[in-house]
């Protein structure tokens, strides 16, 4: 198969869909790989590294999109990229369609077969292609929150861990999945007072077993969330209902009742955000203030640490990229129900239920649509 890797064009997005090592694996399996010039420059992977791995470096995104049978990216295609996609082509990347009606319409119109990293499920459950970036974003959320809590950045002027004789900051993590568990790890490590909420008691059991009395676990109810919001110095939004728009867990009134200078880091912003006052921001301008509460809502947090992130992402995606390239579509998804769960759009139809429901499309049952 001919696989194409364009340079990412989202704000401060330096990750790249394939590393030279991944290219080498694909080429060894008999595939052809086209890489847009300087696609990996942001992580120190230059054209020469890709050429040494067996890729052909091409001058433009247009050439990648027009010639590739499968486009492998990181972030959801931007409008200019959507317009270059075509029927019969596979797009393998993060999509986050439920909160993004414009991208969804453009993908439907293009006729492309779009497989979303974030809804692929693993043989033991979980979301193996979301997990590595959730590990990165969960860890970063505490760094970002600590930065925002500094007075010069509008925050309360608190050190997360306090010092001897002065209490640490109160950090509340809503959602104890991959992002949440990684946020908890960093916050505990920095000496904060940490409280984590989930509505899955098994997640809370795991965190309790790991941290014991160093954290508080709470079942996630409206009441518990409201009480935490007024007590917290830093709140991390880390919930997910796979594929669907994030549930809004704090209303504008509840945000306004928070301490002036408190910080909200809405990691779930890529699925629309879990606080009513959240809207997506960029690494160029990551924060804004609503009712004296600092909001950090960057939708591509791992893009800030692209070296760590690109390699972690490729470790997870490579087996799936190889399966799609070697078996083709639809054989690869017919052989792996977890990969089939990644299929969001195919030839103008929405094949992921939560996306269809959230955006008002008729849902096409994927096995039926593909005749499997």
Ligand X SMILES: NC(=O)C1=CN([C@@H]2O[C@H](COP(=O)(O)OP(=O)(O)OC[C@H]3O[C@@H](n4cnc5c(N)ncnc54)[C@H](O)[C@@H]3O)[C@@H](O)[C@H]2O)C=CC1
131 known member of a binding site: no
Interatomic CA distance for residues 145 and 138, integer angstroms = 11
Binding site for Mg ion (CB under 5 A): 256, 291-292
Q: Which of 31, 96, 170, 346 is catalytic?
A: 96
Q: Which of 266, 270, 336, 358 is catalytic?
A: 270
131 binding ligand PYR? (CB under 6 A): no
Contacts of 240 (CB under 8 A, 6+ apart): 175, 177, 179, 246, 268, 271
Q: Is 96 labeled as catalytic in the residue annotation? A: yes
Q: How far is the CB of 291 from Mg ion (least distance, A)?
A: 4
239 known member of a binding site: yes
269 known member of a binding site: yes
Site string for ligand X, 181-220 (x = CB under 6 A): ----------------xxxx--x----------------x
309 known member of a binding site: no
Q: Which of residues 171-230 bind ligand PYR (CB under 6 A)?
A: none
The count of other CB atoms within 10 Å of the CB of residue 356 is: 20
244 binding ligand PYR? (CB under 6 A): no
Residue 262 CA to chain centroid, in angstroms?
24
Of 240 and 340, nearer to ligand X (C-beta) is 240
# binding residues, ligand PYR (CB under 6 A): 8
291 known member of a binding site: no
Q: Which of residues 251-280 bind ligand PYR (CB under 6 A)?
A: 270
Phi, psi of 34 (to 5 degrees): -105, 130
Alpha helices in 218-330 (DSSP H): 222-231, 252-256, 306-327
Q: Which residue is nearest to ligand PYR (CB)?
A: 133
Of 72 and 133, nearer to ligand PYR (C-beta) is 133
Of 15 and 170, nearer to ligand PYR (C-beta) is 15
Contacts of 79 (CB under 8 A, 6+ apart): 102, 103, 106
Contacts of 296 (CB under 8 A, 6+ apart): 144, 145, 148, 263, 264, 265, 266, 281, 286, 287
Cα 307 to Cα 8, 45, 91, 133, 198, distances in angstroms: 14, 10, 23, 12, 31
Q: In what order do the strands lie in the sheet with 343-346?
A: 56-58, 32-36, 2-5, 70-72, 90-93, 113-116, 343-346, 349-350
Of 25 and 270, nearer to ligand X (C-beta) is 270
99 binding ligand PYR? (CB under 6 A): no
| Paired strand residues for 296 | 265, 287
Residue 291 binding: pick among Mg ion, ligand PYR, ligand X, none (C-beta 5-8 Å cut-off by kind): Mg ion
Q: Is 32 helix (H, G, I), strand (E, B) or coil?
A: strand
Q: How far is the CB of 270 from ligand X (least distance, A)?
A: 4
Among 172, 245, 300, 344, binds ligand PYR (CB under 6 A): 300
Q: Is 362 labeled as catalytic in the residue annotation? A: no
Q: How far is the CB of 230 from ligand X (least distance, A)?
A: 17
270 known member of a binding site: yes
The count of other CB atoms within 10 Å of the CB of residue 199 is: 15
Q: Is 64 helix (H, G, I), strand (E, B) or coil?
A: helix
Of 40 and 155, nearer to ligand PYR (C-beta) is 40
Nearest to 304 by CA among 39, 76, 43: 43
Which residues make up the interface to ligand PYR (CB under 6 A)?
75, 94, 118, 130, 133, 270, 300, 302
Q: Which residue numbers are catalytic?
A: 96, 270
Per CB under 6 A, residues contacting ligand X are 118, 127, 130-131, 133-134, 137, 174-180, 197-200, 203, 220, 238-241, 246-247, 249, 267-271, 298-302
Annotated binding-site residues for NAD(+) read: 134, 198, 203, 220, 239-240, 267-270, 298-301
């Amino acid at each position: 198969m001919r696989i194409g890797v364009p340079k990412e064009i989202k704000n401060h997005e330096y990750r790249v869909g394939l590393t030279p090592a991944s290219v080498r694996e694909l080429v060894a399996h008999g595939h052809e790989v086209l890489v847009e010039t300087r696609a990996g420059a942001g992580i120190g992977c230059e054209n020469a590294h890709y050429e040494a791995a067996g890729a052909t470096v091409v001058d433009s995104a247009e050439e990648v999109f027009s010639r590739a049978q499968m486009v492998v990216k990181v972030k959801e295609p931007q409008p200019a990229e959507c317009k270059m996609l075509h029927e019969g082509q596979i797009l393998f990347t993060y999509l986050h369609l439920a909160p993004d009606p414009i991208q969804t319409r453009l993908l439907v119109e293009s006729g492309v077969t779009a497989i979303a990293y974030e809804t692929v499920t693993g043989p033991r459950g979980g979301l193996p292609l979301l997990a590595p970036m959730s590990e990165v974003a969960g860890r970063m959320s505490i760094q970002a929150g600590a930065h925002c809590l500094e007075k010069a950045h509008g925050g309360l002027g608190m050190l997360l861990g306090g010092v001897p004789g002065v209490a640490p900051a109160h950090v509340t993590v809503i959602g104890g999945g991959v992002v949440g568990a990684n946020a908890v790890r960093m916050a505990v490590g920095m000496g904060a007072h940490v409280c984590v909420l989930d509505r899955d008691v098994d997640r809370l059991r795991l965190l309790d077993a790991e941290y014991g009395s160093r954290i508080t676990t709470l079942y996630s109810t409206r009441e518990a969330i409201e009480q935490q919001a007024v007590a917290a110095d830093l709140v991390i939004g880390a919930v997910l209902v796979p594929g669907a728009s994030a549930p809004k867990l704090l209303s504008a009134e509840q945000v306004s009742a928070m301490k002036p200078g408190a910080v909200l880091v809405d990691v779930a912003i890529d699925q629309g955000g879990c606080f009513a006052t959240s809207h997506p921001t960029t690494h160029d301008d990551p924060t804004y203030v609503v009712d004296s509460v600092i909001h950090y809502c960057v939708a591509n947090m791992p893009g800030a640490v692209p070296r760590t992130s690109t390699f972690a992402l490729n470790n997870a995606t490579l087996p799936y990229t190889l399966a799609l390239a070697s078996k083709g579509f639809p054989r690869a998804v017919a052989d792996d129900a977890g990969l089939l769960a990644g299929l969001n759009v195919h030839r103008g139809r929405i094949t992921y239920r939560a996306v269809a429901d959230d955006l008002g499309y008729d849902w096409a049952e994927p096995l039926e649509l593909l005749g499997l």
